[in-house]
Chain A
Amino acid sequence: MLNLLWIVPALPFLSFLILAVLGKRFTLKAASILGAGSIGISAFITLLIGISFISNPPADHIFVQTLWTWINVAGFNPSISFYLDPLSIVFMFVVTFVGFLIHLYSVEFMYEEEGFTRFFAYMNLFVGSMLTLVLADNLLLLYLGWEGVGLCSYLLIGFWYKDSVNGAAAQKAFIVTRVGDTAMAIGLFLLVANLGTLNIKDILSKAPETWAQGSSLATAVALLLLGGALGKSAQLPLQTWLPDAMAGPSPVSALIHAATMVTAGVYLIARTNALFILAPDVQQLVAVIGAATLLVAGFSALTQHDIKRVLAYSTISQIGYMFLALGVGAFSAAVFHFMIHAFFKALLFLAAGAVIISLHHEHNMFKMGGLKTKMPLIYWTFLIGSASLASLPLITAGFYSKDLILWTAWSGTKGSTWLWAAGLFGAFITAIYTFRMVFITFLGEQRTEISHTSGNLIKVPLVILAVLSLIGGFIELPGTLGHLPLFSGFLENALPSVSLTGKSILQEGIFQIIAGITALAGLYISYLLYVRRNISEERFSKGALHRFFYSGWGFDWLYDRLFVKPAIFLAYINRNDFIDLFYNGIAAVTSFIHKLLSKTQTGRLRWYAMGIAVGAILTITIIVFL
Chain B
Amino acid sequence: MNISLEINLALAGILFLIGLIGVMVRRNIVFMLMSIEIMLNASGLAFVAAGSKWMQADGQVMFIFILTMAAAEVSVALALILKIFGRTKTLDADLLDKMKG
Residues of A within 8 A of B (CB): 597-606, 609-610, 613
Q: How far is the CA of A325 from the CA of B27 in the complex (A)?
A: 97
Would A601 and B101 count as touching, CB distance under 8 A? yes
Would B24 and A610 count as touching, CB distance under 8 A? yes
Of B23, B99, B100, the residue contacting A606 (CB under 8 A) is B23
> Nearest residue in B to A600 (C-beta to C-beta)?
B101
User: Least Cβ distance of B91 to chain A in Å?
Assistant: 12
Chain B residues contacting A599 (CB-CB under 8 Å) are 101
Q: How far is the CA of A610 from the CA of B26 in the complex (A)?
A: 12
Q: How far is the CA of A602 from the CA of B93 in the complex (A)?
A: 12
Q: How far is the CA of A600 from the CA of B101 in the complex (A)?
A: 8
Of A598, A601, A606, A609, the residue contacting B94 (CB under 8 A) is A606
Chain B residues contacting A606 (CB-CB under 8 Å) are 23-27, 32, 93-94
User: Least Cβ distance of B97 to chain A in Å?
Assistant: 3
Would A604 and B24 count as touching, CB distance under 8 A? no
Would B96 and A605 count as touching, CB distance under 8 A? yes
Q: How far is the CA of A468 from the CA of B96 in the complex (A)?
A: 88
Would A603 and B27 count as touching, CB distance under 8 A? no
7 closest A-B pairs by CB:
A601-B101, A603-B97, A603-B100, A598-B101, A605-B93, A603-B99, A609-B23
> Does residue B20 face the partner (Cβ distance < 8 Å to A)?
yes
Chain B residues contacting A598 (CB-CB under 8 Å) are 101
Q: How far is the CA of A592 from the CA of B4 in the complex (A)?
A: 54
Would B99 and A613 count as touching, CB distance under 8 A? no
> Does residue B87 face the partner (Cβ distance < 8 Å to A)?
no
Would B25 and A604 count as touching, CB distance under 8 A? no
Would B101 and A605 count as touching, CB distance under 8 A? no
Would A604 and B93 count as touching, CB distance under 8 A? yes
Within 8 A of A (CB), among B33-76: none
User: Least Cβ distance of B90 to chain A in Å?
Assistant: 13
User: Least Cβ distance of B87 to chain A in Å?
Assistant: 16
Q: How far is the CA of A552 from the CA of B100 in the complex (A)?
A: 68
Most buried by B among A598, A609, A613: A609
User: Least Cβ distance of B19 to chain A in Å?
Assistant: 10
Chain B residues contacting A605 (CB-CB under 8 Å) are 29, 32, 93-94, 96
Can you list 15 residue pairs at the A/B interface with Cβ under 8 Å? A599-B101, A602-B101, A603-B96, A603-B98, A604-B97, A605-B29, A605-B93, A605-B96, A606-B26, A606-B93, A606-B94, A609-B20, A609-B24, A609-B32, A613-B24
